[in-house]
Structure 1
Amino acid sequence: MRALRILLVIVVVLGGIFVAVDRAAVYFAESEAAGRIRITDATIGSTDVSIKGFPFLTQIAGDQLDEVDVEITGIETAANGRRLRISRMNAALHDVKLADDYSSATATRATGTAVISYEDLTEAASDGVAVEYGGNNKVKVTGTVDVLGNPISRSVLSTVTLVDGHTLRVHADKVPGEGIPGLEGLVRQKTDFDREVGGLPGGLKLQKIQPTADGLEISVTGTDVKLAA
């Protein structure tokens, strides 16, 4: 019995050491991965990586991870000559295959959410235009136009849709004209606009866009998603 107790103690101790080593390896790998993530034709602010599954060491030995959760903040690209910033993006990447001595990784499939704040959407809109949440899945767009030397400001409720799976379109439901000829066209030149949403990791595609109080929430999904280079 004494020998059995000693054996059990040794197993528990070794198991604890293995868990500690495994978790330390995960922490190191997460830090390394966060620093290596790159996106083509875009700059990023910060990244956070969380590797799921246990044990980690057996996953790394097989050059494949079960799931990796990634959060990227401040993804910046150019859209129609103007800066477009994705405030943050969260993605769950599944069956992540490691290659090139762990310098690159590709996820078999991924799902996630990207958010564009109204402040960042305002920066991407035309000069002198402000965008904010309008309630009921709409955005409120305010712009000022010049009519015969007189500045006229109008606010409109607009619908935001996805076009061709990569472009967001802001289109006013109705423009109050008040009988002024040509006013609606002038206002729409300011308040209606398309902006391509770039800067996502290769393989991710936009699926659905939804205005919320915190910004435009965009569902993303993809296959063969490259998250490091």
Structure 2
Amino acid sequence: MEWTRAKDWLIGAVGMVLALGVAAAIAWWIVSDPASGVEAAPAPTPTPGERQPDPKPPAGLGADEVWLGDVALDAGTLAAAGSVLHDVRAIGQDVVTGPDGMAAERLTVDATVPFEVVASELGDGTEVRAAGGGQVMVVRTVEALGRQLAVTATGTVEADAGRLVVEPRSIDFGGPGFVSDAVGAVVNGLVTIEHDIEGLPEGLVLQEVTVQEDGFRARLSGENVKLGP
């Protein structure tokens, strides 16, 4: 990412409220490319203790530091670390920037992980899509017992140890039921999704995830999150 371009974009969006150093630090982890006709994602609903009703600058704020009670950023598309996120909404509270960089006391990010990003991790020709009822479907060709099999697996998604995980509940490849059950145990791992959401600051942990028509809607949050060098 070109620093000058990122700084110019943020200065135009935020204006003179933030110092040039603040803009550069924010640009280090998020780049906005709003998609035409795409509505901004709704603001995350704060959990208990996430927001302070009347935030005040911390005691001992240095003369060379800047404090922001609340910072909100929206991006139609975020591309970083070789991955892509859509409809990103980030809210930070108690953000301090200074000689040591920028950090948020609390940071919450809502974003959509496109199905194609996850599908690419399982191999060429894999398709991932919503299956209704909060489930997701994985369709791919796998090799099992020396045979090429077209497999359709359906399962639910959950946040497990900070990862987006889809564990198949049913696996079908068009054969007799008893054969599907036997081979299903072999191919289960080939259609299981374990995805780490990338491109966001370290310190954010996946809290919850749901299935939408266009991808997985994820919420991440963290405390004392460093936003820039």
Same fold (TM over 0.5): yes
Q: Offset of 1:71 from its aligned partner?
A: 3.1
Question: Is the contact made by 2:65 and 2:98 (CA closer than 8 Å) also made in structure 1?
Answer: no
d(CA) in 2 for partners of 1:142, 1:31 = 49
1:27 pairs with 2:30: no
Aligned equivalent of 2:166: 170
Aligned equivalent of 2:72: 69
d(CA) in 2 for partners of 1:146, 1:168 = 25
Q: Which has the higher strand share?
A: 1
1:190 pairs with 2:190: yes
Q: Offset of 1:175 from its aligned partner?
A: 1.4
List per-residue Cα deviations over 1:13-60 (Å, max 9, x = no partner): xxxxxxxxxx99951456954544324xxxx65379xxxxxxxxxxx9
Q: Which structure 2 residues correspond to residues 20-99 of structure 1 after superposition, within 5 A?
A: 26-28=14-16, 32=20, 33-36=22-25, 37-39=27-29, 45-46=31-32, 63-72=66-75, 73-77=77-81, 84-99=83-98
Identity of aligned residues (%): 24
Task: Give the direction of change, closer, same or farther, for the CA distance of 1:187–1:31 in structure 2 (3 Å limit).
Answer: farther
Structure label with greater radius of gyration: 1
d(CA) in 1 for partners of 2:33, 2:19 = 9
Can you give the 5+ residue segments of structure 1 that lack an aligned partner in the other structure? 1-22, 49-59, 78-82
Across the aligned residues of Structure 1 and Structure 2, the Cα RMSD in angstroms comes to 3.3
Q: What amino acid maps onto 1:135 in structure 2?
A: G
Can you give the 5+ residue segments of structure 2 that lack an aligned partner in the other structure? 1-10, 35-62
d(CA) in 2 for partners of 1:225, 1:122 = 29
Aligned equivalent of 1:215: 215
Q: Offset of 1:189 from its aligned partner?
A: 3.3
Relative to the length of structure 1, the TM-score reads 0.66
Q: What amino acid maps onto 1:168 in structure 2?
A: L
Task: Give the direction of change, closer, same or farther, for the CA distance of 1:24–1:126 in structure 2 (3 Å limit).
Answer: closer
Question: Is the contact made by 1:35 and 1:47 (CA closer than 8 Å) also made in structure 2?
Answer: no
Aligned structure 1 segments of 4 or more residues deviating by more than 6 angstroms: none
Count of matched residue positions in the alignment of Structure 1 and Structure 2 = 184
Aligned partner of residue 121 in structure 1, secondary structure: helix
Of 169-178 and 84-93, the range deviating more from structure 2? 84-93
Q: Which has the higher helix share?
A: 1
